[in-house]
Chains A and B, each alone.
Chain A
Amino acid sequence: MKTTIKKITILGFIGLLFSGCTGDWLSLSNPNQQTTATFWKTEDQAVSGVNGIYQALLYDGTFLRFAPACLDSRDDITWSPSPWDAFSAVAQFNLLTTNYMPEAMYVGFYDIVKRANAAIENLPNITYSTHPEYKDRLMGEALFLRGMTYSYIVTFWNHVPLILNTPHSTTDYFNPQVDASVVWAQVIKDLTEASNLLPATYDAANLGRATKGAALGYLGKAYLFNKDYTNAAKVFKQIIDLGVYDLMPNYEDNFTEAHENNKESIFEVQFQRMNQADLGWVGEPSASWDKTTARAITYAPSPFGWGDMALRKWIFDEYKIEKTKTGAYDPRLYATITFDYPGCTLYGKTFREAWPYTGADTLKWANMFYARKYENVNSGRANEFDWRSGINERLMRYSDILLMYAECQMNLNQIADAAHYIQMVRNRANLPDREAEFAGYSKDQLFEQLTHERALEFCLEGHRYDDIIRWGWNKDATKLALLKTHDAEWNGYIPGKEYMPIPNIEIQTNPKAVQNPSY
């Protein structure tokens, strides 16, 4: 009896021993986030997924800091006194392929592409029963964002992979570069489709979304960059004829928080201070990420910001070439540049309080030119050192449409029409009406005038560098010499360096990647 009990007990224990845990007990899924398998199913998800593409514009490598900084610092207006080589080396055309800036930009811009590709792939599978209008609009937004992004990618790097799908196997991770013309063709295709799908305007709640005008604007720009003036002019005229845009009476309203998404705005990146713990530079977004830009602290002069950017004297002089109808200096000068004049205040101080020099040092005042556009100089803040600025980055303004249209018309020998649109932009700056005079210019004369007008209108808006390259000034000995006179950093330029280096990390991870010439 006793041994029987013992045996039963032992067997019981062995049974117990092996009644371990299996199956469902081991099936755990992430309690923090949903899986991809359950996404792209509903209308709300479609909206959320498209909103997620826009969020990729707010990265260190995109418009939170580096894209504007890279565009500006390479031109002949802006130079970089930064001890950090991410800024100074790019300004001096001396970037190593391992530099952080091109790396952050490359992955940042392709992150937009990645998100747009996922949307473009999945949106057609969703049924829009509640909001049938979403169908076209969302696809239009995704196509616009992809097309616009590729237009930046191809102008930054020139020779890049064209990825239009999400990867379905690991071999899809490794993509070869294609000729720039192939990328431009895709840009034109995406933006053409987007312009056909997008509405011209939105209700208030959706202000900031891509519009038909935005798609046309970047489409026209793509034609212009490829010197297809006929198509470009056609598209720009279409925007003008939409009748939804006009110039803001006050130029400066385009660069403050007060008048965001105004009637002059073609497309802007939406920044807003949300009082969150993190700036949100790179990687996986977190709930603690703010929606602000670091542009203001980057460009603000020391001691109000990092002072990574300063302006050359020639642009200051350029503004003074022509006075307004009332004999004043161009109002755009005061909106764009902080310099020493009575009444110049920034962050609650006068210019001379900000830099209280004495003795011989006061001579420096006459040569100090700093960024004012997009800075919170009149916000009540003492400086930019909370790193966060809520000012929207205006990527494209109606005045750019007008001047690009004028440039097309000029190239199509419609000189009078070109003069008309040039003067239209000048009028807002209260400059004398010289339309008739310009209409009598030769194409070359008008071009010279146009370069002057564009420099003043878009100073610190990232367009100057693109203009220089598409006008071929880097290949024209006279113009190159002029650039070097304007900005000694151009002495570092050698042919090929007009494009950014393919970041070393791409070269090292992608056996198909080829470095750009001269790096």
Chain B
Amino acid sequence: MYKTLRNGATYAHTLKKHTGSMRLISFMLVLLINSLFAVSGYSQSLKTIKGKVTDVSGSTLTGVSVKANGTTVGTITGIDGDFSLEVPGNAKILTFSFIGMETQEISIGNSNTLNVTLKEKTINIGELVVIGYGSQKKSDLTGSIAVVDTKAVAKMATNDVTKALQGQVAGLSVQGGGEPGSVPSVKIRGIGSFGDSSPLYIIDGVATPINDYPVGDVESIQVLKDASAAAIYGSRAANGVIIITTKRGKNGKLKIDYNAYAGVQNIAKRYDVCNGVQYQSLVNLATTNALATNPSYTGSILPANNPSDSRFSTYNTDWQKEFTKTGHIQEHSVTLSGGNEITTYKTSLNYFDQTGTLVGNGPNYSRLSLSVGLDHKIGKFKLGETMNYTYVNQDLMTFVKDGTAISEMVTAIPTLPIYDSSQADGYSASNKVIDGSYSANVIGMNSMIQSNTKRYKFFGNAYAEYAFLPSLKYKLSLTYDRSDFKDFHFDPVHNLGWAYINNTAKMYDNRSSAATGTIEQTLTFDKKIGDHTINAMIGTSALDYKYNWTNAYAEGFSQPYFKEISNGTTRSATGGENENRLSSYFARLIYNYQDKYLLTASMRRDASSRFAPSYRWGSFPSAALGWKISSEEFMKEVTFVNLLKLRASWGKLGNQNIGDYMYQSNINSYASYVFNGTLNSGSAQISYKAPTIKWESKETKNIGLDAELLDSRLSFTGEYYTSKSSDMLLVVTIPYSNGVYSWLAPTINGASVRNSGFEFSAGWKDHIGKDFKYGISGNVSTLKNKILSLGYGNNPIYGTISKSSVGSSVGELYGYVIDGIFQNKSEITALNTVAAAKNGAGAVYQNLYTSPGDYKFKDLNGDGVINEKDRTSLGSSIPTLYFGLNLTASYKIFDLSISGNGSSGNKIYNAIAASLEYGGSADQYSTRMLNSWTPTNTNTNVPRVVMSDPNGNSRASSRWLEDGTYFKISNIELGVTVPSSVFNKVKINNLRFYVKGQNVFTFTKYTGFDPDFGSDGLWDRAVDHGSYANKAFNSFSGGLPNPRTFLIGAQVGF
């Protein structure tokens, strides 16, 4: 049986008999399994070839793979670079390959000795770049495709590949906090969609989420930025595409690699907050100020702050010090790879573990992943499969309030101790009457409440490729991608502050699973005919996504707690499911004339189940032209130019990243009501839908210049793009008089946005002498975002402190303008007189109880009163300039690399500072407030403190907007490669140790934790709570700033 199968020619005969695609699939699976056992053997006359392998500098190379082509015979070079290989008599060519070197094929001819010099591999113009459904020489690209330096990416110690991409690619912005397991927000060339605007990730040809993927498994990363490059993924490519290929096995002996690092992490920054005495004096001042100036205020000095009260507090807790701790990070990976002419394999096992920087149950993130990849080549068939299994265990920060634990930590009052033995749970609790503060015991909260999520992810892909002709190939790819989630939350009986009391132990056990099945087929024609090189491809794709969930809830657990649903005294459950489908057809032509003139054209048609039948289809065409000037005759003399290429592209991309069934109005059948103690079924249409919604589209134009000069030591790419997103899908709040909550308003094709920008990247790579090698690369990009149309009739969209309107950028900051501090009563009276004259008796300029020491806001519309009409634009929340820098150097056994990145042009609303400087409550204060206005401290820009803040000094104004510019050294790494002579007795191929620091320095004027923070990503992107909550359970967890990390690591290869 398998002898026949090993003969590729018989496959076609077998296939002919099968007509249905299902039978074809099952046949191929049988084939795959059989091929695993396929072993080839030859028996012929032998010949011994000897030789030595060296590098350009003449140093011998150990561990170089030497193989006779067309056979399975091979060896590796010894310590002195020597090899000796018995080859069959008919062997003609030897292949020499070594990591980091260019592979060479040498004809054996009649010689018995071959001395070979291997050149170091450089990212050169001949390199193949993976594009959608194929690959292309980098020098032939016509679209905007950035090839990421994976060496730099692999240096980042992180749970998420995209975090490592920060600063590596012009036009790619990565923003996110440092909570273990956090997923940063990634955007290519600005905000192209209002829904989920993250790019499409294609891993080994399959669309699948990138999170929870080991960074070390990545072989290459390509970022498709313009429509021409991405249009082949039309339907989901509006936000760009990131194509990742993972490491596969290579023909050769078993290779074992072990990489590991371990390190410590800390939150580097602190807010300056008051100590107990300072805090009490400010709260008391706020109270007396209110009593003196606001007759409607009826509070009094709080007992905890009143020295003459028995409940006066003398505590001075530094919550920032007590709640933070040193976190740990470690990663280990073992990779086994190798193979023969028919089958190559790679198996890797990866363990990643990160504990957060806060005391208590979370956040922690650990991940165990196993990946197996096999490729087989049998005659005209190529087959392969990939299977990944990942287990993620994540403890979340356990916070039961909107906002984040980190901001609650900063604003916790110093006059409370951490522990209180008189409390049943042992933690102190703020008291409304005594402390008057909402302060939560964050340490108790994070220690008592548990939130955990477990993810079990399976990814399986099998492909089969058959070459009908050398130029015509068919490929079938089947993928099944499934994640199972188990979310656990346990809230024991506790009192952690008067607003944070839980009387009955509650438990949530939420299970869900998401599965994506994909079938893709392509037929590719690839041939050079004279001066014409043609690559044409057609294909289809069908995708089905299903999600279902079951949420169980129980309460009334008795102590000691057995945290299983059955142990609750009352239990309930809810559940549901969603599904969506996509069907696509696509075609592409890549044409090259004389290696000078390049053309790429593509077309994709997609149908989505998310739209009504008559709006289901979208068409996404693209075209691009390239002119390789360096290939022209007149350039032949210009020898310092290796590549000079001008390219231009146009294309249209689509987006349907909205919820399922958004075009169908539904009846909610949970609107039940109780009559006489019995639940009666109730129904209502709660949300409105727009049945005519259709594909969002994005039209992109791109022009670029690529150059490589001076033996490709210098490389440069410059680009300009402009894109226009139309019919953007978004939820636009309809007036509340419709009785529809903002988040339940219809999704409509309601906006149009333009993004444009320049992108430059350049690199220089050289060596001085034979021992010192260095490289420098950097990128700069600009981003200009402008809204062209919006909402219903261009009605602006408002966020907490933003207004997005036609002509502005998305999420443009918006608020009141401060016009100084009132120094005396007569200033206020004068303005109130004008207000009453213009608006009638009783009208006041700001507030009835505005007093000296309060902010005076600018009356921008001149109507004599301050109201929402007096707000104005206060700057951009989107950085307008992004930059990244990589430096590498090596000297003999030492290597050094430094990466940095940053952005500028945006403002950040420091929400933590805003709560610390509110001045109207008994919550914690910033030390800055010690300089607040008083009749004896008038020369200040800090307004008075006053309970309830009647004047609204804390309203959204320019007060807490800060310059968001920063540049941070994200990574510094120093490595040493142990010379092979040290371990010549052991079977070690390479051994390297390194130390590194991450986020060591951040150059910024921003006073918050970190200008690189996670935000809500759209309208209120500028609001910094110390990083946005990672909400696995709605508002039960919070974000953390990026930690400063120091670690050591080792890489060893056997």
A18 to B15, CA, bound (A): 18
Q: Does B683 contact A (CB under 8 A)?
A: yes
Query: Given A47, A275, A291, A507, which contacts B570 in the complex, CB threshold below 8 Å?
Result: A275
Q: Distance in Å from the Cβ of A296 to the closest Cβ of chain B?
A: 13
**Known: A270-B673, A272-B677. Contact between A34 and B667, CB under 8 A?**
yes
Asked if A17 meets B539 with Cβ closer than 8 Å, knowing A28-B580, A96-B955, the reply is yes
Contact between B681 and A170, CB atoms less than 8 A apart: no
Question: A294 to B483, alpha carbons, bound, how many Å?
Answer: 38
Q: Which chain A residues lie closer than 8 Å to B677 at the CB level?
A: 272
In the complex, residue of chain B having the shortest beta-carbon distance to the beta carbon of A38: B667
User: Does chain B have a CB within 8 A of A216?
Assistant: no
B653 proximal to A (CB < 8 A): no
Of A85-93, A321-329, A333-341, the segment with at least 4 beta carbons within 8 Å of chain B is A85-93
B201 within 8 A of A: no
Q: Which residues of A contact B607 (CB under 8 A)?
A: 22, 26
The answer, yes or no, to whether B43 is at the interface (CB within 8 Å) is: no
Q: Which residues of chain A from 170 to 192 have any CB-CB distance to chain B below 8 Å in the complex?
A: 170, 173-175
Closest to A115 in B: B684
Which A residues are in CB contact (< 8 Å) with B583?
20-22, 25-26
Are A17's CB and B540's CB within 8 A?
A: yes
- Interface membership of B100, Cβ < 8 A: no
B675 touches A270 (CB 8 A): yes
CB of A261 within 8 A of CB of B676, answer yes
Judge whether B676 and A56 touch: CB under 8 Å.
no
Binds B, one of A218-226, A237-245, A457-465, A485-493: A485-493
Q: In which size bucket is the chain B interface?
A: 35 or more
B665 contacts chain A at the CB level, 8 A cutoff = yes
Chain A residues with CB under 8 Å of B676's CB are 204-208, 261
Contact of A107 among B613, B669, B740 (CB under 8 A): B740
B1006 at the binding interface (Cβ < 8 Å):
no
Is A494 positioned at the interface, with any CB of B under 8 Å from its CB?
yes
Q: Check A385 against B671 for contact (C-beta < 8 Å).
A: no
Q: How far is the CB of A380 from chain B (nearest CB, A)?
A: 12
How far, in Å, is B663 (CB) from chain A's closest CB? 10
Contact A92 B948 (CB under 8 A): yes
> Is the C-beta of B542 less than 8 angstroms from some C-beta in chain A?
yes
CB contacts (< 8 Å) of A343 on chain B: these are none
Residues of A within 8 A of B690 (CB): 170
B594 within 8 A of A: no
A residues 43-98 touching B (CB-CB < 8 Å): 45, 47-49, 51-56, 58, 79, 81, 83-85, 88-89, 92-94, 96-98
With contact pairs A283-B741, A509-B736 given, residues A496 and B842 touching in the complex (Cβ less than 8 Å): yes
Distance of A272 Cα from B679 Cα, bound (Å): 9
Q: Tell yes or no: B988 within 8 A of A by CB.
A: no
> Which chain B residues (696-745) contact chain A, with CB distance < 8 Å?
733-744
Contact yes or no, B503 A110, CB < 8 A: no
A504:B498 contact, CB within 8 angstroms: no
| A114 nearest CB across to chain B (Å) | 4
Q: Establish whether residues B673 and A83, one from each chain, have CB atoms under 8 Å apart when the complex forms.
A: no
**A20 touching B737 by the CB < 8 A rule?**
no
Note all chain B residues with C-beta closer than 8 A to A373. Answer: none
Query: Are A274 and B683 touching (Cβ within 8 A)?
Result: no
- A491 near B296: Cβ-Cβ < 8 Å: yes
A386 adjacent to B681 (CB under 8 Å): no
Q: B899 → chain A, closest Cβ, in Å?
A: 42
Within 8 A of A (CB), among B263-300: 294-299
Verify A106–B737 contact, CB threshold 8 A: yes
Tell me whether B672 and A55 are in contact (CB under 8 A). yes
Q: Is the beta-carbon distance between A5 and B16 smaller than 8 angstroms?
A: yes
Shortest distance from the beta carbon of A69 to any chain B beta carbon, whole Å = 16
Q: How many A-B residue pairs have CB under 8 A?
A: 351
The answer to whether B735 and A19 have CB atoms under 8 Å apart is no
Query: Chain B: which residue is nearest A50 at the CB level?
Result: B682
Question: Known contacts A30-B661, A494-B842, A509-B734; is A9 also within 8 Å of B679 by CB?
Answer: no
Q: A466 near B: Cβ within 8 Å?
A: no
Chain B residues lying within 8 Å of A205, measured Cβ to Cβ, are 675-676, 678
CB contact under 8 A between A34 and B666, given known A6-B468, A291-B673: yes
Given A20-B542, A54-B673, are A488 and B298 also a contact pair (CB < 8 Å)? yes
Q: Which of A228-236, A301-309, A408-416, A423-431 contacts B (4 or more CB under 8 A)?
A: A301-309
**B298:A79 contact, CB within 8 angstroms:** yes
Question: Which residue of chain B is the closest to A57 with respect to CB atoms?
Answer: B673
Within 8 Å by CB of A17, from B538, B672, B743, lies B538
| Chain B positions within 8 Å of A272 at CB level | 674, 677, 679
In the complex, B553 has a CB within 8 A of chain A = yes
Q: Residue A28 contacts which of B294, B661, B739, B842 (CB distance < 8 angstroms)?
A: B661
Q: Which of B923-975 contact A (CB under 8 A)?
A: 948, 950, 952, 955
Docked pose: A163 CA to B798 CA in angstroms: 25
B577, B583, B737: which has the most chain A beta carbons within 10 Å?
B737
B-chain residues with CB within 8 Å of residue A26 when the two chains form the complex: 581, 583, 607-609, 613, 616
Interface residues on A, range: 35 or more
Q: Interface stretch among A397-405, A445-453, A510-518?
A: A510-518
A39: Cβ under 8 A from any B Cβ: yes
CB neighbours (8 Å) of A284 from chain B are 668, 670, 686-687, 744
Which of B57-65, B342-350, B428-436, B638-646 is near enough to bind chain A?
B428-436
Task: List the A side residues contacting B504 at CB < 8 Å.
Answer: 386
Please give the distance in Å from B717's CB to the nearest CB on chain A. 36
Stretch of B45-53, B324-332, B780-788, B843-851 contacting A (4+ beta carbons < 8 Å): B843-851
Chain B residues near A505 (CB, 8 Å)? 733, 736, 742, 798
Question: Are A303 and B540 neighbours in the complex by a CB distance under 8 Å?
Answer: no
Query: A382 and B503: CB pair below 8 A?
Result: yes
State in angstroms the CA–CA spacing of A492 and B580 once bound together: 55
Contact of A83 among B742, B867, B922 (CB under 8 A): B922
In the complex, what distance in Å separates the CA atom of A285 from the CA atom of B684?
9
Q: Report the minimal beta-carbon distance from A260 to chain B, rounded to whole angstroms.
A: 8
Closest to B921 in A: A83
Q: Which of B410-447 contact A (CB under 8 A)?
A: 431-433, 436-438
Docked-complex contact B669 and A56, CB < 8 angstroms: no
Point out the residues of chain A lying under 8 angstroms from B503, CB to CB. 381-383, 385-386
The answer, among B433, B609, B688, B921, for a CB contact under 8 Å with A27, is B609
The answer to whether A16 and B521 touch (CB under 8 A), given A35-B664, A56-B684, A490-B296, is: yes
User: Does any Cβ of A come within 8 Å of B806's Cβ?
Assistant: no
With A284-B744, A358-B310 known to touch, is A35 a contact of B667 (CB < 8 Å)? yes
Interface string of B135-159 (1 = CB under 8 A from A): 0000000000000000000000000
Please tell me if the beta carbons of A285 and B686 are within 8 angstroms of each other in the complex: yes
Residue in B504, B523, B738 whose Cβ sees the most chain A Cβ within 10 Å: B738
**Is A295 in contact with chain B by the CB < 8 A criterion?**
no
Taking a contact as CB atoms under 8 Å apart, the answer to whether A287 and B670 are in contact is: yes
For B842, the chain A residues whose CB sits under 8 A away are 494-496, 518
Rounded to whole angstroms, the CA-CA distance of A78 and B310 in the bound complex is 29
In the docked arrangement, what's the CA distance between A277 and B1034, Å?
Answer: 13
Interfacial chain B residues near A107, Cβ < 8 Å: 736, 739-741
Asked if B681 and A88 sit within 8 Å, CB to CB, the answer is no
What are the residues of chain B within 8 A of A18 when measuring CB–CB? 540, 585
Point out the residues of chain A lying under 8 angstroms from B666, CB to CB.
Answer: 30, 32-36
Q: Which residue from B468, B498, B553, B950 sits with its C-beta under 8 Å from A302? A: B498
Q: Hey, which chain A residues are within 8 Å of B844, CB to CB? A: 494
Confirm or deny: A31 has a beta carbon within 8 angstroms of a beta carbon on chain B: yes
A29, A285, A385: the one contacting B661 at CB < 8 Å is: A29
0/1 string, A266-300, CB within 8 A of B gives 1: 00001110111100001111111101000000000
The 7 A-B residue pairs whose C-beta atoms are closest, nearest first, are A52-B684, A492-B296, A51-B682, A114-B739, A491-B295, A277-B553, A510-B735
**A–B complex contacts, Cβ < 8 Å, 10 sampled:** A28-B579, A28-B581, A30-B660, A52-B683, A56-B684, A89-B948, A271-B674, A383-B501, A504-B868, A511-B793
Give 15 A-B pairs besides A51-B680, A83-B438, A488-B295 with Cβ atoms closer than 8 angstroms: A13-B474, A21-B583, A31-B578, A36-B666, A92-B297, A103-B736, A107-B740, A110-B737, A111-B740, A114-B738, A272-B677, A285-B672, A303-B433, A306-B499, A382-B503
